[in-house]
Amino acid sequence: MFSAWGSVDIVFKTAKGVSVIRSPLESLVLGITVHIAVISAWAELLNYEERFIQNGSISRLFSSVNMLNEKDYKSTEEIRATTFTENMESVL
């Protein structure tokens, strides 16, 4: 496991600014819930890799965990759909 002492080393950073420091990566240990920063970084990596798929292949889009927030789940389905659509528009 990584030490919590010392500096907050950035272990992974994308050109779009998504970064992950050491401590969230500890969530990759078996039995621990994966940290949202790790999921978002993984989505960025997968989207980068999509640039290199063969012509004619089905393209995919991976989104970060920020499409909906906790407060969005307390609202109606219609409001959730609108919020999700607006957030996806910014990704596309």
What is the full per-residue pLDDT of the chain (92 aa) written as tens digits?
555 565 678 888 888 777 888 888 888 999 989 998 899 888 888 988 999 999 899 989 898 888 888 888 899 999 999 999 998 887 77
DSSP string covering the chain? ---SSS---EEEE-TTS-EEEHHHHGGGSTTSPPPHHHHHHHHHHHHHHHTTSPTTSPP-----GGGS-GGGGGS-HHHHHHHHHHHHHHH-
Nearest-angstrom CA–CA distance, 39 and 88: 17
Q: What predicted TM-score, i.e. pTM, was given to this entire model?
A: 0.70
Is residue 67 classed exposed, middle or buried when 0-12, 13-18 and 19+ CB atoms within 10 A define those classes?
middle
Domain ranges of the chain: 7-50, 65-92
